[in-house]
Amino acid sequence: MDEFLRLKPLYQDRVWGGRALETALGRTLPPERPIGESWEIVDRPEAQSVVVGGTYDGLTLREVLQRHSAAVMGPRWPADKPFPILVKWLDCRERLSLQVHPPAAVAASLGGEPKTENWFIAAAEPGAHLIVGLRPGVTQEKFERAIAEGKLEECVNRFPVAAGDSVLVRSGQVHAIDGGNLILEIQQNSDTTYRVHDWGRVGLDGKPRQLHVAESLRSILWDEPPPVEVKAKGKFGVLAYAREFQICRVFVAAGKTMDFVAGEGPCILSVVAGRLTSACGELKRGDNVLIPYSGNFVPTVAEDALVLLTFGFDGEDPHRGLSHIKEAENCRPEDLAATWIEQQLQENGENWAIQRVMQLCGLCSDPELVWPIILRLVELSSDDRLLGDVAAGPLEDLLCGHGALFIERVEAQAKRDRKFRRCLSGVWGWSSMSESMQARIRKAAGEEKL
């Protein structure tokens, strides 16, 4: 299947909403209503996304999965199982209620569903903040006293945000979104929210909205530390690593292509900047599409694009393709390089270091992290066989994916290190490089040959 699933947005009135989806994303909204949410991908009894265009045009997401679950989600996905992710745009003109979603351990007893969610800040007005988690030392007793005294802001962790920032909010963490934020929310498929406090606001009907204090107190994880937000420092990186899903931020320059290969699992592609084109149509800022398990989808980047890729939600091993990442992330570059060499020499056995280095070279990570590892790999390689493995592996991956960022450092290293020149001569992935890049690599390698 060489296509993606484009789905029709479902717009939701919210007392705290506005019209930013119209101005920022170029959407046509229902007139004269405060639109707080756009449900982009949803498979729930009360709300169904409908496919627009392509093979499944006019079918709801539920109908697609009932008829084609293997093609969309993979061969082991039950046809009657709902799609596990809900994607929303949030236009927060005013502060949302202070709320919590029940963790899995208590959700069923409360008749609700757990909801871990990630917020990507697409735009933020000056002074915009988020509230996630409790301040250190806040106990349930202190929190209940603050409810009674109207001093809840003294108990919660409030911090400023800017466009490009991201934060993972786990089930059981109390939270709120301040006004002035335009957010892409990627979450578990759940609509269970318990309001602790609503700041004295009334709903669209002019009446105070219902609070769920007892349920909230049972749901809040009192010993859970506040999350560490991912600041907008770079163009590549892992934004969220949860058991329910993983999210990567990827920058792709104009003229490049992205390659989604069939059989690697379903993926949600969210365009937060730029424009992509393909035989199936154009994708622009604000678009969220589902790339099926069976999809061979190769879009071209028409304008420099920043996209989010959400994966790992198909019920398979959450560490698939990212094996031992938890352990590997804590491994120093020199230790990771040494383990890579050891595993490369083994006929069979563990390969987590090899996979971790491969992941660092890919589009879904920060390539700066792999450069010192490559230098150490060259230093530790005891023969041409290992140098060839480095050349055809991490060095080639780095140059094919991020050559423009690294070619000057590659040239400088080649001038002072003959061993590095020999390694560079083993790079052969020319089809993914421009002719000028190929020429510079060949010149840097000089007369050295593996």
Residue 61 and residue 210 share a domain: yes
Q: What is the pLDDT of residue 334?
A: 78
Q: Is residue 196 part of a domain?
A: yes
Please, where are the H alpha helices in 253-395?
325-329, 333-345, 352-361, 371-380, 384-390
Q: What is the pLDDT of residue 253?
A: 86
Q: What is the pLDDT of residue 90?
A: 98
Residue 378 and residue 410 share a domain: yes
Residue 192 and residue 124 share a domain: yes
Residue 433 and residue 347 share a domain: yes
Q: Is residue 227 part of a domain?
A: no
Residue 331 and residue 298 share a domain: no
Higher pLDDT, 327 or 251: 251
Q: What is the pLDDT of residue 351?
A: 72
Q: What is the pLDDT of residue 324?
A: 36
Residue 194 and residue 55 share a domain: yes
Helices 333-345 + 371-380 axis angle, to 10: 50
Q: Is residue 263 part of a domain?
A: yes
User: What does 118-164 look like in DSSP terms, one character per residue?
Assistant: EEEEEEE-TT-EEEEEEPTT--HHHHHHHHHHT-GGGTEEEEE--TT
Residue 436 and residue 388 share a domain: yes
Confidence check: pLDDT of 318 > 90: no
Given the structure tokens 């909230």, which residue do they identify?
216
> Who's near 34: CB < 8 A, 6+ residues apart?
13, 14, 15, 16, 17, 18, 19, 93, 204
Confidence of residue 333 (pLDDT cuts 50, 70, 90): confident
Confidence check: pLDDT of 291 > 70: yes
Q: Work out how many domains the chain is built from and give that number.
A: 3
Residue 16 and residue 128 share a domain: yes
Higher pLDDT, 263 or 363: 263
Residues 72-82 have pLDDT tens digits of: 999 999 999 99
Domain boundary (250, 279, 311) is at: 311
Confidence check: pLDDT of 41 > 90: yes
Q: Is 195 a catalytic residue?
A: yes
Confidence of residue 175 (pLDDT cuts 50, 70, 90): very high
Closest CA to 402 of 372, 425, 371, 446: 371
Q: How far is the C-alpha of 66 from the C-alpha of 262, rounded, in Å? A: 20
Residue 162 is part of a domain; what is its CATH number?
A: 2.60.120.10
The single residue of 6, 195, 376, 440 carrying the catalytic annotation is 195
Residue 333 and residue 302 share a domain: no
Backbone angles phi, psi at 322, to 5 degrees: -130, 40
Share of the chain above pLDDT 70, in %: 92
Q: What is the pLDDT of residue 100?
A: 97
Instruction: Please tell me the least confidently modeled range out of 51-60, 97-106, 397-406.
Output: 397-406
Residues 341-360, mean pLDDT to the nearest whole number: 77
Confidence of residue 321 (pLDDT cuts 50, 70, 90): very low
Please state, as a whole number, how many other Cβ atoms lie within 10 Å of the Cβ of residue 205: 8
Domain boundary (266, 283, 311) is at: 311
Residues 137-147, mean pLDDT to the nearest whole number: 96
Confidence check: pLDDT of 171 > 90: yes
Backbone angles phi, psi at 204, to 5 degrees: -65, -20
Residue 291 and residue 422 share a domain: no
Q: Is-contact 216 196, C-beta < 8 A?
A: yes
Higher pLDDT, 349 or 41: 41
Residues 39-52, mean pLDDT to the nearest whole number: 97
pTM for the model: 0.75
Confidence check: pLDDT of 71 > 80: yes
Cα separation values, 76 from 81, 314, 320, Å:
11, 9, 15
Q: Is-contact 73 266, C-beta < 8 A?
A: yes
Q: Is residue 423 part of a domain?
A: yes
Average pLDDT, the chain: 89
Q: Is residue 211 part of a domain?
A: yes
Residues 232-283 have pLDDT tens digits of: 765 666 788 788 898 888 888 899 888 887 887 899 999 999 999 998 899 9
Residue 307 and residue 329 share a domain: no
Higher pLDDT, 2 or 109: 109
Q: Is residue 85 part of a domain?
A: yes
Confidence check: pLDDT of 12 > 50: yes
Domain boundary (288, 311, 334) is at: 311
Q: What is the pLDDT of residue 366?
A: 67
Q: Is residue 338 part of a domain?
A: yes
Instruction: Please tell me the least confidently modeled range out of 45-59, 143-157, 212-226, 255-269.
Output: 255-269
Higher pLDDT, 176 or 399: 176
Q: What is the pLDDT of residue 240?
A: 85
Residues 432-445 have pLDDT tens digits of: 677 888 999 999 99
Host domain of residue 427? 325-445
Residue 211 and residue 115 share a domain: yes
Residues 408-422 have pLDDT tens digits of: 999 999 999 999 999
Q: Is residue 232 part of a domain?
A: no
Residues 386-411, mean pLDDT to the nearest whole number: 89
Confidence check: pLDDT of 323 > 60: no
